[in-house]
């Protein structure tokens, strides 16, 4: 009796365990993969027409509109879908017994539906557009994974695939979203290895530099893109491989305005940043020579239209000029002197020139006539000039000087000094000496006449010729005779 009771209890316990185990197994199977409850047309399960055609062929059906059950789908363990231009893999999650999957050379970017294919041993996604491989992190039974020629830059989700024997992740090309061009660009490094560490040994284009965790570029000219390449030897599971590729940063062209300033008058030109400017017509300015276009009104950097590129912002270039110097020639009687004078500066007034028998009138811009130059008011024009000394012949009244109220014409000695000759005679007059002898103040008159003639460097006789000077030692006897004769005439008169 006791034995029968024990057997009954054992049987009930076993039955409970079986039921619980069945429920658990059912739950595990349900959570493992999607499952159809009713037959469904192939093209509804697989929206991509090219993938639907591959599945139809694998099932041996005549049309993609044929309805299939989950048990039929479970019969597929290998699917060859390479070179089929497949873009979407929706529905692949119903192929729960897949072990070999060939998706080589398609246009697949989203592989999230592969996460439920835990029985996969071989997966080829070569030559696709895959960026995110996190869906593969639980495919622990994978032995071979082919991912070369995709867009993968983070392989850390593959670190847990301990059964990998073959891993191919070479030649990845990832393109960042485009940014606006500018001279100085910085972007973060985004390539991570199996330990999620940023790669450091990078080859940077366009003379860029690694400045962890960023990359830096200084671009003087516009380029459509910059990039950096990477290569690292690593191990995932039992697979040893190279992780190689390139990250591209596209640059969008931007426009900038160049303003050209000529003494405050501006014109503008709209240009694409990073391109060479078209050099404007050379400006002119009276009295100045154009030096070039500069980044500032004074000094600044001279713009080189063959090597300098438009920046990514509006900017102004200023026309700078250098004042010119011109030659001023001053001519006196065929002889010339010159001055170098800057435009709108004053000439240095020379000393007053002289000409025998003439008075100086001034400096003129023509030999005869013309306009008189004013050294106080007139400034140097934007050309070479010649100024001519003009003279006016003196009138007789201007050339005479007074002696005793009478005028005598002025004459010039051979040494250039001016002297005054004695007055002219008329028909009834006697000589000047006779007039002196009749003058009661003869001594004073004589001394006055002597002082006058001495001051003019000569004494004239009754014919107007130069008499010897009193200080001339060679003529002392003659002077003595003259004085004796004069004394005799005076004494006899008295």
The answer to whether the 255-323 and 325-393 domains have the same CATH topology is yes
Q: In what order do the strands lie in the sheet with 385-393?
A: 335-342, 325-332, 385-393, 358-364
- The whole-number pLDDT of residue 399 equals 63
DSSP helix/strand/coil, 323: strand
- Determine whether domain 325-393 maps to CATH 2.60.40.4270: yes
For the cut 50, the answer to whether the pLDDT of residue 238 exceeds it is: yes
For the cut 90, the answer to whether the pLDDT of residue 293 exceeds it is: yes
Q: For domain 255-323, give the CATH superfamily.
A: Listeria-Bacteroides repeat domain (2.60.40.4270)
The alpha carbon of 212 is separated from its chain's Cα centroid by a whole number of angstroms, namely 30
The whole-angstrom separation of Cα 356 and Cα 134 is 113
- The token duo for 237 is 């599971």
Helices marked H in 222-352 — which ranges? Answer: none
- The whole-number pLDDT of residue 397 equals 72
pLDDT band at 493 (very low <50, low <70, confident <90, very high): low
CB 51 within 8 A of CB 86: yes
Name the class of domain 32-252.
alpha beta
CA torsion 67-71-74-76 (nearest 10°) is -60
What does the pLDDT look like over 409-427, one tens digit per residue? 443 333 333 333 434 434 4
Pairing of the two strands 255-262 and 315-323? parallel
The whole-angstrom separation of Cα 200 and Cα 213 is 9
Domain parsing of the chain, residue ranges: 32-252, 255-323, 325-393, 423-493
What does the pLDDT look like over 10-62, one tens digit per residue? 555 555 444 445 434 433 333 456 788 899 999 999 999 999 999 999 999 99
What does the pLDDT look like over 201-216, one tens digit per residue? 999 999 999 999 999 9
**Positive or negative torsion for Cα 94, 100, 105, 108:** positive
What does the pLDDT look like over 163-184, one tens digit per residue? 999 999 999 999 999 999 999 9
Cα 269-271-277 angle, rounded to 5 deg? 80
């Amino acid at each position: 009796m006791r034995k029968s009771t024990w057997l009954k209890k054992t049987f009930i316990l076993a039955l409970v365990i079986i039921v619980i185990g069945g429920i658990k197994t059912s739950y595990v199977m349900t959570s493992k993969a999607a499952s159809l409850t009713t037959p469904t047309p192939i093209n509804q399960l697989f929206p991509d027409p090219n993938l639907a055609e591959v599945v139809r062929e694998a099932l041996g059906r005549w049309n993609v509109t044929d309805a299939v059950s989950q048990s039929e789908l479970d019969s597929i363990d290998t699917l060859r879908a390479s070179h089929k231009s497949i873009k979407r893999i929706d529905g692949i999650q119903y192929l729960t017994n897949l072990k070999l999957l060939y998706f080589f050379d398609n246009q697949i970017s989203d592989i999230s539906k592969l996460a439920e294919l835990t029985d996969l041993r071989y997966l080829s996604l070569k030559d696709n557009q895959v960026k995110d491989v996190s869906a593969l992190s639980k495919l622990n039974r994978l032995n071979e994974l082919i991912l070369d020629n995709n867009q993968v830059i983070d392989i850390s989700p593959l670190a847990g695939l301990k059964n990998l024997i073959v891993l191919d992740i070479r030649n990845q090309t990832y393109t960042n979203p485009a940014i606006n061009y500018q001279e100085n660009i910085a972007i973060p490094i985004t390539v991570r290895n199996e330990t999620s560490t940023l790669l450091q040994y990078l080859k940077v284009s366009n003379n860029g530099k690694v400045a962890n965790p960023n990359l830096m570029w200084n671009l003087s000219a516009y380029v459509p893109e910059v990039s950096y390449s990477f290569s690292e030897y690593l191990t995932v599971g039992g697979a040893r491989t190279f992780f190689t590729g390139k990250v591209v940063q596209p640059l969008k062209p931007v426009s900038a305005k160049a303003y050209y300033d000529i003494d405050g008058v501006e014109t503008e030109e709209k240009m694409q940043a990073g391109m060479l400017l078209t050099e404007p017509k050379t400006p002119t300015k009276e009295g100045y020579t154009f030096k070039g276009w500069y980044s500032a009104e004074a000094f600044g950097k001279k713009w080189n239209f063959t090597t300098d590129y438009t920046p990514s912002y509006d900017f102004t270039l200023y026309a700078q000029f250098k004042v010119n110097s011109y030659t001023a020639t001053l001519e006196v009687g065929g002889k010339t002197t010159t001055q170098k004078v800057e435009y709108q500066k004053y000439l240095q007034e020379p000393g007053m020139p002289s000409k025998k028998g003439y008075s100086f009138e001034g400096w003129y811009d023509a030999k005869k006539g013309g306009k008189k130059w004013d050294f106080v008011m007139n400034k140097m024009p934007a050309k070479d000039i010649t100024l001519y000394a003009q003279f006016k012949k003196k009138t007789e009244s201007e050339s005479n000087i007074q002696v005793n109220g009478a005028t005598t014409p002025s004459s010039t000695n051979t040494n250039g000094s001016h002297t005054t000759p004695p007055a002219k005679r008329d028909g009834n007059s006697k000589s000047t000496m006779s007039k002196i002898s009749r003058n009661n103040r003869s001594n004073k008159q004589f001394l006055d006449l002597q002082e006058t003639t001495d001051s003019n460097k000569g004494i004239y006789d009754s014919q107007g010729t130069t008499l010897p000077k009193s200080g001339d030692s060679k003529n002392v006897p003659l002077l003595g005779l003259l004085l004796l004769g004069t004394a005799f005439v005076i004494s006899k008169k008295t």
